[in-house]
Amino acid sequence: MKILIIGYVWPEPNSSAAGSRMMQLIKTFRAQDWDVEFASPAQTGEHMEDLKLYGVTSQAIELNHDSFNDYIASLNPDIVVFDRFMMEEQFGWRVEKYAPNALRVLNTEDLHSLRDARHTAIKQNRAFELSDMHSDLGVREIAAIYRSDLTLMISEFETALLKDSFQVPDTHVMHLPFMLDTQSLRAKSFAERQDFVFIGNFRHAPNWDAVLQLKQVYWPKIRAQLPQAKLNIYGAYPPPKATQLHNEKEGFLVKGWADNALEVIEDARIMLSPIRFGAGIKGKLVEAMQVGTPSITTTVGAEAMAGKLPWNGIVTDDVEEFVAAAVSLYQDTKSYALMQHNGHQIITQRYEQSTWQDSLIGRLKIQLQLKDRLRNNFFLGRLARHHSMKSTQYMSQWIALKNAQPSDS
């Protein structure tokens, strides 16, 4: 089996949950001894994973360039995985034309249009409504899902949303959360830990918003009751506006990149994560569960993560309740072990690596067998490919032609 992954960015598992998710997919494919090639039009970054260590080949590709046509035809993959819907928009029509037999799989990471719609509602100081997703971004993303043979959804909530509100059939969507090694769970004791922690890539808007909320709203209230405590803020790519928030006297410490995210989370007593908008499931909260660090977060932060199992801390959207929980749990030696147990139980019961790997491989094999029948039977998919892909194709071809013309001297 030959797999081509077209990445929006090169994988950076230590920078973002999306990078971790991508490496989980790659390891799953390689465990089957499938050939995997990763291609991306993005620039390489200092924190990107060395894919050669996993037996994965790499290829730089160009946007709006016909060189991709020969590349995909020559590679002739069995499965093409588009990492986020923007890559399906850019390259989907070329894959369909020059590798028509390849199964086209969309890995969403999260629903970008849901995250954007929730952000819009927050900026307008009102509650989120489903109609907020009826934006240009929403139309583009749902169209990409319609065009794909299978879409992988990391969140149960978003899987149901696609089925119930956007009429995506069961045959074209699969819930696939993080696939985690449940044998490596650990937990330092209450006495071995100190201070609070937040971690998240600063380029991700919900994370930056959460940092501002901590700085302006939550931390002053917590610090007033725990004057010796500190809040350590970690994350990749901190901009100057973030590092300028660093204040030793306030105990608000912006430390930037963490060489090992699990270690800095494990050293903390409590994870604070006041996420006001977003989508998917939150890597920072998963990591906190893995290393036994209780977390205090919002309903959006905890969405689709624990099912009916008890949370490893507190979930609340009320500022005063959040602050009270932070102060109380920080000093609560009796409840600490129970919170750690709750987190480990969530990971063990809902994210077991081997279970989800088997489900993914089995589903891909079924989709390959039924590919032609499902394409013929799903009329909305054919409709989306005809209209959306033609406009994308013609625009891309026009840009390629324009770029090929010599510039005026």
Distance, in Å, from the CA atom of 199 to the CA atom of 221, rounded to the nearest integer, reads: 20
pLDDT, position 379: 87
Q: Going from the N-terminus, what domains does the chain have, and what CATH number goes with each?
A: 2-179+353-404 (3.40.50.2000), 183-350 (3.40.50.2000)
Tokens 């030959």 sit at which residue?
2
Distance, in Å, from the CA atom of 313 to the CA atom of 319, rounded to the nearest integer, reads: 15
**CA separation, residue 179 to residues 36, 227, 286 (Å):** 18, 39, 11
pLDDT, position 399: 67
pLDDT, position 156: 97
Contacts 24+ apart (CB under 8 A), 71-77: 71/39, 72/4, 72/98, 72/99, 73/98, 73/99, 75/2, 75/4, 75/37, 75/99, 76/2, 76/102, 77/2, 77/3, 77/4, 77/37, 77/102
Distance, in Å, from the CA atom of 118 to the CA atom of 121, rounded to the nearest integer, reads: 5
* DSSP of 191-212: GG--SEEEE--TTSHHHHHHHH
Distance, in Å, from the CA atom of 398 to the CA atom of 91, rounded to the nearest integer, reads: 15
First to last CA, the chain: 49
Please write the tens of the pLDDT for every residue from 174-220. 999 999 999 999 999 999 999 999 999 999 999 999 999 999 999 99
Distance, in Å, from the CA atom of 347 to the CA atom of 358, rounded to the nearest integer, reads: 17
| CB hemisphere CA count around 400 (13 angstroms) | 15
Q: Is 216 exposed, middle or buried (0-12, 13-18, 19+ CB in 10 A)?
A: exposed
**CA separation, residue 390 to residues 168, 176, 386 (Å):** 22, 30, 6
| Cβ-contact 273, 207 below 8 angstroms | no
pLDDT, position 409: 38
Distance, in Å, from the CA atom of 4 to the CA atom of 75, rounded to the nearest integer, reads: 8
**CA separation, residue 241 to residues 122, 211, 236, 272 (Å):** 21, 11, 14, 20
Task: Give the tokens for residue 105.
Answer: 């799989």
| Cβ-contact 274, 210 below 8 angstroms | yes
* Rg, C-alpha atoms of the chain: 22
Q: Which amino acid does the sequence have at 190?
A: F
Sheet holding 313-315, edge to edge: 252-256, 231-234, 196-199, 270-273, 295-297, 313-315
Distance, in Å, from the CA atom of 167 to the CA atom of 303, rounded to the nearest integer, reads: 22
Classify residue 162 as left (phi > 0), alpha (psi -120 to 50) or beta. Answer: alpha
Which helix or strand (DSSP H or E) is residue 359 part of?
helix 353-377
10-residue mean pLDDT series, the chain (409 residues): 98 94 98 98 94 98 95 98 96 96 97 98 97 95 96 98 97 98 96 98 97 98 98 97 98 97 98 98 98 98 98 98 98 97 98 98 98 92 73 64 59
Q: Which amino acid does the sequence have at 154?
A: I
Count of other CB atoms within 10 angstroms of residue 391: 11
Please write the tens of the pLDDT for every residue from 118-170. 999 999 999 999 999 999 999 999 999 999 999 999 999 999 999 999 999 99
Q: Which amino acid does the sequence have at 107?
A: N
